[in-house]
Structure 1
Amino acid sequence: MSAAENTPTPTSPASGARASEPTVSRSEVRGRVWQQLPLLLGLVVLWAVLWGQFSWLNVLTGFLVAILVTRVLYLPPADISGRLNLWYSFVFLAYFIADVTLASFTVAFQALNPRPIPTSSVIAVQLRTRSDFVMTLDAIAMSLVPGSIVIEVDRERAILYFHTFGTTTAADVEKMRAHVLVVEARIVRAIGSSDDLARINETEATR
């Protein structure tokens, strides 16, 4: 055997880099597109609402703005699970409307009541989900209910800080904290991932 046959064939850095690069299949690309599609559609709807009318021009410009915002501005990826439970979505919306209606009458009564306004508090609620999307929906849902508003979000530790009325005692604070977790559970059961759903079921089963 000659020396030339024993000599290993050198590998160029470029070919080695190409070999080590992870390959992304077409199915994975399609999955990412479908995951981001609800976010893009939401931005298009928001754009049309801001303009006050739905037209082909608004939809087209809204889509272009949505692409620009999601590509140019750095934002954490919005991981959408892709699962949807219609029944629990209806349950969440029904309870949300009921909460808004009841809280509106309660806040109006407190505003007209000559007695002092009940004690307000700032409370921290440790969520069980690890989804930014679910955390955002929970914060929006609670902030839209009169009498409570999110003042800070600790994304790394999944903690929401609320300013809320009617928390005179420690029991009132715990009741408010439990209500936030109930809303979180409704959202997870409606659109959350399988991991978040299992985490919710596990924590509720151990109570």
Structure 2
Amino acid sequence: MASALLYYFLILIFGIPMHECVAVLRDGRCVIEEPCFDLSVMANVAELVSKDVIALDGEKILLKHSSFDKIRKKKNLHSCVLQKIIDLFQDVLDKTNGTYVHKNEEINHHHELIHIMDQLRNCVYKKKNRCKKLYKMSDITTTSSPMVNILKKMNPNQLAVLQLQKLKSASKRVSDVHIQEKVMDELKSLHLYVQGKGFRKNTND
């Protein structure tokens, strides 16, 4: 009975601090790891910037989540694809700066989002050598838009190449208003594509 009470007492002493820490215990000290980036902030600002953009019909630039999920589970693939996604979206934001500014707003959310994209880039794992090989594959391989049933059978590498090709095609026509509107529309769900293995969750990763 006494040993059971002692065990319970030790759990209370050592368990509570660890619970309150909600971080990592290193050398007996609680080390709080700050998040590398708050995706909810980006989602909220993106919604403000693109709230007046009407959803467009036709093929999207970003793959559907069911296909992109295969990419996000692979750290190297996800990080390489994310870098190109950020390149395109940031390019469009730069070109449309002033176009989507809403009247009577004290803060220029469009300009704020451009700054946020810079911060986002810093939280993507950098895999230069791996990316070079993948980018080269996307340049060599030519893939037309596959049917839904074919997409389901494609492996993560094939899907990553396809996504890179779609991004490259859009980048070549980035001055086209139609492409700009597509990007601004897809901006609303961009934060969902960032989540995955290629995105650093905290500053100590």
Pick the structure with greater CA Rg: 1
| TM-score computed with the length of structure 2 as normaliser | 0.27
Task: Tell me which of the two structures has the higher relative contact order, counting C-alpha pairs closer than 8 angstroms and 6 or more residues apart.
Answer: 2
| TM-score computed with the length of structure 1 as normaliser | 0.27
Structure that is richer in strand per residue: 1
